[in-house]
Structure 1
Amino acid sequence: MGFVEQGISIAHQHALIIFNYIQALSALQQLCLFAVFPFVYSLLFQFFYSLRKDRAPLVFYWIPWVGSAIPYGMQPYDFFENCKKQYGDCFSFLLLGKVMTVYLGPKGHEFVLNAKLQDVSAEDAYSHLTTPVFGKGVIYDCPNWKLMEQKKFVKGSLTRESFMKYVPKIRDEILKYFELNFFTGAELKRGTVDVMHTQPEMTIFTASRTLLGDEMRAKLNGSFAGLFADLDKGFTPLNFIFPNLPLASYRRRDRAQKLISSTYMSLINKRRTSNDIQDRDLIDTLMKSSTYKDGTKMTDQEISNLLIGVLMGGQHTSAATSSWFLLHLSEKPELQEELYQEITSVLTENNEKEITYDLLAKMTLVNNTIKETLRMHMPLHSIFRKVTKNLVVPNKKYIVPKGHYVLVSPGYAMTSEEYFPEASKFDPHRWENLLGTIKMKGNNGSSSDETVDYGFGQVSKGVSSPYLPFGGGRHRCIGEQFAYVQLGTLLCEYILNFRWTGKAPEVDYTSMVTLPMAPATIQWEKRV
């Protein structure tokens, strides 16, 4: 008998001995043994992990498999800060069975967001989470080169010429919404609204009107915004670990995806049948110009799915951000008046009565209010990548093994006193002297001017700034300019039409989006 066979035989004998020993125990003893085993295994795993000097230090945890999910899920930034004090800016923690290696600060941004495609994968990290929401064949449910091409297809609707046309449409949608939902019944001059109800609706209506066109907008009502809310609930830590469970929220997610997709498909089919494909909106653009570089074309179902992904991206950013700036401004009536003076002055100086795209660019405080809101409330508090080959952490002695995850949190840096003095204070004026307020170590507060084209146009290659509200690298959000146009127009119309009061609540981190805790209400009064 060879050494291998002999070793297998011995191991088999030991296993039989252990099995027979367990069988001899009483049912209660067996239950206790199996209850204790995961804890013993977990402690041994952590002990042997700590002996490895080529691994980032692992945050200690008591509960097997769950790991640090509770403190991370409740208050991620506080969790990161406490871990940094104990372990430094690079550490690992267990999140529901997955080992996450975190690298905080601008060096971490560079490490994760500019990692090579052959080393990390966003698709492997997110596809099981996003595919049930968006549908198959788009975003992370396809090879990375296809995603880059899909971004290029969409970017044609995000030009300066498009934005100039979008602003009047956004303004029109907002004013109609005010008439239907604010100035009704007894609430002609004052009232109370829940911004987590109004802002998601306004986001969907304005985005649909501009990107998807008048014909699609005519099909939508408040219940359609509710469908997007059901889709939004598909982005939770539970969904990240378990993509499909027999729960009501999962059924609502799947129902919403089918209904929204079928709505888009009905319009696509109508235009195909009548050969009515022009240059009206993003739907026309994708139907005409969505051929990949290998010669294959997106199917109509994939076009429909991509439209869901495009609007969901804006839903996260604009609904959350507009909710937050309304809530913060509710505590600062003096800042509301400053904004009012800026907006009316710009309109008067340019002999305009209505907001235009060119005028938005001249409203410094308006744009700084949006910028400050994004600093304090980056919509996604964590960005993940799955490691596909052993990855060396720069400036460290650590290696992140294949199969583990890396995590970066620009939102942590943006709310850190290390880079933003009085970081917890909502102060749009801090951006009037950017270089004086951002404490950069070896950096002037901006990313590198060097650019790179991943397939959807030139973007900044450097991501070493502490301020990255739209991410960076090949997965950087392409909707930044659209978000500023949408949010800027919305903020201006709120300021021109209302004064309001309220209180900004704490942040709810239980989903993967940083939303205000309920109740999130403001008390408005119409300007005379």
Structure 2
Amino acid sequence: MIAFVAILLFSVWFLLLRPRRGGKNAPPTVVHSPVVPFPIIGVLAEFFKSPNTMIKRCYEAYGPVFTIPICHRRLTYLIGPEAQEVFFKASDDVLSQQEVYDFMRPVFGPNIVYDASKKNRQVQFQTMANGLRASRLKSYVPKIEEETRQYLKSYWNKDSGEVDLLTALSELTILTASRCLHGDDVRTHIFKDVQELYHDLDHGLTPLTVFWSTAPTAAHKKRDAARLEMVRLFSKVIAERREFPERSDGTDILSLFMEIKYKDGTPITDEEVTGMLIALLFAGQHTSCITSTWTTLLLANKPELVDRVLEEQKKVLGADWKNKKLEFDDVQNMEFLNNSTREALRLCPTFIMLLRRAECDVNIKVQGKEYTIPKNDFVCVSPTVSMRLKSTFTNPDEFDPDRFAEPREEHKKVPYSYLGFGGGLHSCMGQNFGLMQVKTILSIIFREYEIEQVADKLPECGYDDMVVGPKGDTRIRYKKRV
């Protein structure tokens, strides 16, 4: 009864007494929901039931700009290329990332990425970007191929069999990422420990974390313990590398992070090195394993597209296409596989929302209407909704890799149509590594095996989860190619 009265009073205050923000040009506020008849309460219930479904409904009801109040937060959504332009072009002084991703601090640790000062953050980002340049990517392709073939030999070791594709590619993604990011010594000696600790860090990120990152839950307790243990393990690796530098070939990103010095001359700490490694692994792990899973399932669902993948492999790799060791340029030349991967990421993006906080009132004009987004609103775009708009992509619910190829190139017709890797000032710096990683793995799998989905239909997108992955049966049957 007390809770009901509190909710009722909050609703009355919100609707009648609270000062209107944004003036006459404020975006329309979503107050009612078909899920529950009570104002505001229904909005909360609908949002937490399925934010993606709600965002899509509100776009159809209110247009490309609208605000959803969630507890003490106001989430203002910008849907569609025209509305999204300000989101991707604005500087951090206008739309800031730092405050909205504060909930990641317990995962990464202090002074990492958006918890760092602006000057130190710039150094961290620049070092990450240097570690993902093409010159380094060239050295990663052989490592990814070696890890992939070893994994397939160990776990797909029969002429035919059945595996859960999502599980397999999740394991393979972290194996290959660890080899490239952490180095051979970590991969050889402590990978199992790192994998288990990463699991606890990953599962410590829940919907509650976004609103209360330090809540005393079992998942948060395991997350905090895992981060401390990760720091201990990598501190030991760093100390050994400094004593015996010959043990590393210097191509992994850990080697690069160890040498960071901030602009005031302060050297990076072991804890910060570990935090950057965790941040980089988090940034790519989900996207790569989920995208490679979707790409495989979507291609396998259309045998004629698998035939085109194989034709391209023969064209790029030559007569010995089945056994040829991959090189960076080979992977770069796999245009159809590249377009298939990008199309899978368009159709099934990993995240429902990208967030910023308005540091001042932000004026925008969309479809001839002017809006003022009030200061302190959380400003959001939704890749899952925006990349399925009929006004942007032809038959947006269809898997069609050729939409990225000449002469169509639908993603280039209007800026900020394609959000597979974000866009603008904060586009994903790891996108080249991620595409290279996925294409290398899938090139080997499709050359080695015939793939068939076990279920009679594709899984659905898991829009209820923090990270959007396949929801349903992801098992496949594999058969060794003769």
The equivalent residue for 2:445 is: 494
Q: How does 1:261-280 map to 2 (within 5 A)?
A: 261-274=231-244, 279-280=250-251
1:150 paired residue among 124, 130, 135: 124
Distance 2:7 2:232 in 1: 46
Normalising to structure 2: TM-score of the pair? 0.90
Is the contact made by 2:80 and 2:389 (CA closer than 8 Å) also made in structure 1? no
Contact in 2 for aligned 1:333/1:500 (Cα 8 Å): no
2:327 to 342, 356, 359: 356
The letter of the residue matching 2:334 is: M
Q: Cα distance 1:58–1:391, how it changes in 2: closer, same or farther (>3 A)?
A: same
- Pick from 301, 304, 307 the counterpart of residue 334 of structure 1: 304
Structure 1 residue 162: Cα displacement: 1.5
- Pairs within 5 Å for 1:48-67: 53-61=24-32
Deviation by residue 1:123-149 (Cα, 9 ceiling, x = unmatched): 11111x211111111111113342222
Q: Which amino acid aligns with 1:107?
A: E
> Higher mean Cα deviation, 207-216 or 73-82?
73-82
Does residue 101 (structure 1) correspond to residue 69 (structure 2)? The answer is no
Question: Which residue of 206, 231, 242 corresponds with 2:176?
Answer: 206
Aligned with residue 176 of structure 1, among 150, 157, 172: 150
Counterpart check, 1:406 vs 2:371: no
Determine if contact 2:340/2:401 at 8 Å carries over to the other structure: yes
Out of 500, 509, 518, the residue aligned to residue 463 of structure 2 is 509
Q: TM-score, normalised by structure 1?
A: 0.82
> What CA RMSD, in Å, does the superposition of the two structures yield over aligned residues?
2.5
In 2, Cα distance between equivalents of 1:164 and 1:116 = 33
| Post-superposition offset of 1:404 | 2.0
User: Is 1:378–1:514's contact at 8 Å kept on the other side of the alignment?
Assistant: yes
8 Å Cα contact 1:374-1:469 kept in structure 2? yes
Q: 1:334 to 1:70 in 2, by over 3 A?
A: farther
The one-character-per-residue Cα deviations of 1:233-257 (angstroms, maximum 9, x if unpaired) are: 3333221011122322222322332
Name the counterpart of 1:299. 269
Residues 1:394 and 1:293: Cα distance change in structure 2 (over 3 Å): farther
State how far apart, in whole Å, the 2-side matches of 1:222 and 1:516 are. Answer: 25
Provide the residue aligned with 1:78 in structure 2.
Answer: 53
Say if 2:52 and 2:463, in contact at 8 Å, map to a contact too: no
Aligned to 1:130: 104
Give yes or no for the alignment of 1:247 onto 2:226.
Answer: no
1:450 maps to none
Deviations 1:199-225 (A, max 9, x none): 221111101112221111113455643
Q: Please give the secondary structure, in 2, of the residue aligned with 1:93.
A: strand
Alignment of 1:213-228 (within 5 A): 213-221=183-191, 224-228=194-198
Aligned equivalents of 1:223, 1:296: Cα separation in 2: 30
* Separation (CA, whole Å) in 2 of partners of 1:166 and 1:494: 18
Which residue identity does 1:147 align to in structure 2? R
User: Aligned partner of 2:425: which letter?
Assistant: R
Secondary structure of 2:324's partner?
A: coil
Q: Quote the Cα distance in structure 1 between the aligned partners of 2:472 and 2:224.
A: 25
Shift of 1:437: 4.1
- Conservation of the 8 A alpha-carbon contact between 1:111 and 1:394: no
User: Kindly, what percent of the aligned residue pairs are identical?
Assistant: 30
- Indicate which of 474, 477, 481 corresponds to 1:523: 477
Contact 2:197–2:226, Cα closer than 8 Å, also in 1 = yes
C-alpha contact (below 8 Å) 2:359/2:375 kept by paired residues: yes
Q: 129-138 or 428-437: which moved more? A: 428-437
**Separation (CA, whole Å) in 2 of partners of 1:491 and 1:278:** 27
| Whole-angstrom distance in 2 between the partners of 1:108 and 1:59 | 18
Counterpart CA distance in 2 for 1:383 and 1:42 is 28
Please, which of 76, 96, 99 is the counterpart of residue 121 of structure 1?
A: 96
Gaps of 5+ in 2: none
Mean CA deviation greater in 352-361 or 63-72: 63-72
5 Å-filtered alignment, 1:3-42, equals 31=1, 35-42=4-11
* Alignment partners' CA distance in 2, 1:138 and 1:153: 13
Deviation at 1:67, TM superposition (A): 5.8
Choose the corresponding residue for 2:361, options 374, 390, 399. 390
- Verify: 1:427 aligned to 2:400, yes or no: yes
Counterpart CA distance in 2 for 1:74 and 1:328 is 27
- 2:135 equivalent in structure 1: 161
